[in-house]
Structure 1
Amino acid sequence: MNNQATLPLSVATTTIADKPQSVWQLRWRRLSRNRVAMLGGLVLILLALFAAGAPLYERLMGVNVNDTNLLNRFAPPSAQHILGTDEAGRDVMARLMYGGRISLLVGLLGAISAAMVGTLIGLIAGYYRGRTESVLMRVTDGVISLPILPLLIVFAAIDLQKLGFSEEFVRSSAANFYRIVFIIALVEWTTVARLVRASTLSLMTREFVLAARTQGASARHILSLHILPNTTSPIIVALSLAVGQIILLESTLSFLGLGIQPPTPSWGNMLNNAQELISRAPELAFYPGFLIFITVIAVNFLGDGLQDAFDPRAESH
């Protein structure tokens, strides 16, 4: 007789319910229970869909993001222009959607670039220790101590032609985009570097790393196969929290006229264009400002949820 068939229903149910879960499943379960974090994630998905739908919106409404019509300036919302037009007669909704593409991409690519730089520096400092660690950490402390906004303004004002780039590239919208991502990556890597260094120092004393070193494994092998996979938690948390700050930095630079340059829209330069029209058309400042606010809040909510979900102290709960 099959003994399993004679088990009471309650025992069988308990056995199924107690099936071991992987670490990632446990983290997802904790994250999914955090309603605020899930709401933040949902808002970010909706914002991404909003930005991705810009070409479809243009086709459906028969508008173009850069088409100007001085005879239709400050038009109220209508069937063709859902949010009206701006000071140049351009469709506000289309510019918000395309501006979202730029702002969200800058935030994401800037955070990923900064995380890559910080991860590399943190791994090297934590693994090699000694003078290498001392030099890298003093550089990190120096970057942290610098005033971020003045530094970004100085970097943004550098003439790319004097660095050897062609005039055609310098005048293109891609040049402004990549320059902003590069500048932000130069100053936002420090948090990831410190977190990865701390994780690496802890992992260097673990048995599996000591065994690999005893067997003569190379530094590259140990860092790539044993240490880096185990530092993903702090990297993901730091990356998610950095996105909101980077979006704010890009918006600040664009607001000051040093970021994404018109006619390419971003939420920051839309705010810059609207500052002189605040008394006549306050909605032109409200729309991009509200989207920046919502994006940063949603990213911070999701980042806080990821931080709780990846907290090693909760692994056993």
Structure 2
Amino acid sequence: MTQQPQQISPTGESGTEENPVAETTATADSTATEVTSTNTAVVGRSPARMAWTRLKRDKVSMVSLVLTVIFILAAIFAPVLTALGGWGPITSDVKSINPDIGNYPYGHFGGISAKHWLGVEPGTGFDLFARIVYGLRTSLAVGLISALLSTVVGVVVGLAAGYFGGWIDNLLSRIMDVVLAFPQLLFIIALTPVIQNAFQTDQHGGTDENLRLAVLILNISAFAWAYTARLVRGQVLSLREREFVDASRIMGAGWVHILFRQLLPNLWAPILIAFALAVPANITTEAALSYLGVGVVPPNPDWGALLSQASEYFLIDPTYLFIPGVLLLVLVLALNLLGDGVRDALDPRANRS
């Protein structure tokens, strides 16, 4: 067997060449130290932050978010915007309409001018910009409040049905089926005479506008909660079999604690999605009711009522129908696209290109 030659050091001691194993070990240790120092600098992100990051990557959702914020700010600052224009929502400018041709606006495009930015209403002389801004307030208020109420009721019912099961689940599920199958618009229209009589506040037939809005919100919420309840129920049926729920029962936690402290925090994503999609649906429903004469009481501004009135003047003044119609389309489309973007951002398993 051939032996490796040894090298003699200047001191007279024999030794070997530099050990490659020791060098590799030292390199690995330094690399591990660098990785450890790098990992310590990484900060964990919450699910909400990760969802916001996904949402920011979606250009359509961000454009929809910007449009939604603009509409909300316009509704909040409606008095400021109308003060800049110089006209209130029910302040008539009789000089802007021509009584010789059926009280249609002077000029082209429905009377659009520096005095009236979006023109005036035929017949009344109301400033269309002020009517649209205050009508946006009504539509957003009804849509948001009714969506909030329906979401709260739907979450409570869905939690109870999914967690308790048995006859409670059967009863609540049958109620959901009836509500989902009920013709909402026909039911409200059929009750219009009864509601109108209940609204009478004096002998002259006056109507309390706040009471009318409250009834609209309650009517819409009474039919919208079932969608959220069915969604939450399906999620709870899966979550109630998880280990953390069993651990809570073993530790003696009551059903209130399990429902609202254990299950509810794990349902915020589908609940937020349901709320985001309910708002545009409720706004559309409110506009349809006002269009059919069951919504906001004239002359109070509302987009559905504007579209209903504008249909009578469309052939001569199409601008009166075109402007509120396009704005309603943009608002509902932006809210729907934003709701879809929120759903995709909250679902990490969604297929994104």
TM-score using structure 2 length: 0.81
State the secondary structure of the residue aligned to 1:21: coil
Task: Tell me by how many angstroms 1:160 deviates.
Answer: 6.2
Residues 284 and 227 of structure 1: CA distance in aligned 2, closer, same or farther (over 3 Å): same
Match of 1:33 among 48, 51, 57: 57
Work out whether 1:43 is the aligned partner of 2:62: no
Partner Cα distance (1:44, 1:78) in 2: 27
Work out whether 1:118 is the aligned partner of 2:142: no
Partner Cα distance (1:77, 1:280) in 2: 15
Equivalent in the alignment of 1:167: 201
Q: Would you say the 8 A contact 1:241–1:299 is kept in 2?
A: yes
Q: Which amino acid aligns with 1:246?
A: N
State the secondary structure of the residue aligned to 2:312: helix
Deviations 1:60-112 (A, max 9, x none): 23212101233422241222211121121111101100000001111111111
**Residue correspondence of structure 1 range 221-260 to structure 2 within 5 A:** 221-260=257-296
Match of 1:22 among 46, 51, 57: 46
Task: Tell me by how many angstroms 1:298 deviates.
Answer: 0.5
Partner Cα distance (1:219, 1:257) in 2: 46
Q: Which amino acid aligns with 1:46?
A: I
For CA contacts below 8 A with separation 6 or more, give which structure has more relative contact order.
1
Structure 1, unpaired ranges of 5+: 1-5
Residues 211 and 190 of structure 1: CA distance in aligned 2, closer, same or farther (over 3 Å): same
Task: Tell me by how many angstroms 1:173 deviates.
Answer: 1.2
Q: Would you say the 8 A contact 1:247–1:292 is kept in 2?
A: no
Stretch of structure 1 that moved more, 306-315 or 188-197: 306-315
State the secondary structure of the residue aligned to 2:120: coil
Q: Would you say the 8 A contact 2:207–2:297 is kept in 1?
A: no
Q: Would you say the 8 A contact 2:74–2:81 is kept in 1?
A: no
Equivalent in the alignment of 2:121: 86
Deviations 1:106-127 (A, max 9, x none): 1111111111111111011011
Equivalent in the alignment of 2:11: none
Alignment length (residue pairs):
308
Partner Cα distance (1:269, 1:247) in 2: 13
Q: Would you say the 8 A contact 1:96–1:265 is kept in 2?
A: yes
Q: Percent identity?
A: 37
Structure having the larger proportion of residues in helix: 1
State the secondary structure of the residue aligned to 1:260: coil
Equivalent in the alignment of 1:3: none
**Residue correspondence of structure 1 range 230-309 to structure 2 within 5 A:** 230-309=266-345
Deviations 1:258-289 (A, max 9, x none): 11111110111111111101112111111111
Equivalent in the alignment of 1:135: 171
Equivalent in the alignment of 1:56: 80
Q: Which amino acid aligns with 1:216?
A: G
Q: Which amino acid aligns with 1:81?
A: H
Structure 2, unpaired ranges of 5+: 1-29, 98-104
Residues 98 and 125 of structure 1: CA distance in aligned 2, closer, same or farther (over 3 Å): same
Q: Which amino acid aligns with 2:112?
A: P
Equivalent in the alignment of 1:203: 239
Task: Tell me by how many angstroms 1:206 deviates.
Answer: 1.4
Equivalent in the alignment of 1:214: 250
Residues 117 and 160 of structure 1: CA distance in aligned 2, closer, same or farther (over 3 Å): farther
What RMSD, in angstroms, separates the aligned Cα atoms of the two structures? Answer: 2.5
